[in-house]
Amino acid sequence: MLYHFEKGNTAGEAFRDINKLFGEETIGRSTVKEWFVRFKSASNSDVYLAQLDRLHAAIQVKRPRKKNHIVFHHDNAKPHVEGRVIESIEEKGWDLLPHPSYYTEAPTDYHVNRSLKNWMMNKVYEDLD
């Protein structure tokens, strides 16, 4: 869809092309329109704020006794840490449990270096330099 958006196509053209290429009912017209709106706004934080409002309403309906005891945990993605989003979470009375940027006590081969470690396993080198 982003390809079609950047090419200057309309949502309808993107809808037709995607369903023609990948088969009928691959994606709905409303989904394509929603994504085009997101691309035009270039602000995922607006979408995220709307999601938070829907979540807040659902909690009040489905869990009315828990509505004042919400601990909210999310990652450090840009839409999640924008000032308006943090303010919205605080206005709702939720406790915010921030996601650490990295785990300081993880061993160096924990995630990033694991593939390098596996690649070097059973390799024999004549010279250590």
Q: Find the mean pLDDT for residues 9-20.
A: 92
**Nearby residues of 119 by Cβ (< 8 Å), 6 or more positions away:** none
Whether 126 shows a pLDDT value over 60: the answer reads yes
Task: Using a cut of 0.75, tell me whether the model's pTM lies above it.
Answer: no
Per cent of the chain over pLDDT 70 is: 78
Q: Where are the domains of the chain?
A: 2-41, 44-98
Q: What angle do CA 47, 48, 54 make, to 5 degrees?
A: 95
Confidence tier at 84 by pLDDT (50, 70, 90): confident
Q: What is the pLDDT of residue 72?
A: 81
What's the whole-number average pLDDT of the chain? 80
Q: Find the mean pLDDT for residues 84-110.
A: 75
Q: Find the mean pLDDT for residues 16-23.
A: 91
**Nearby residues of 86 by Cβ (< 8 Å), 6 or more positions away:** 96
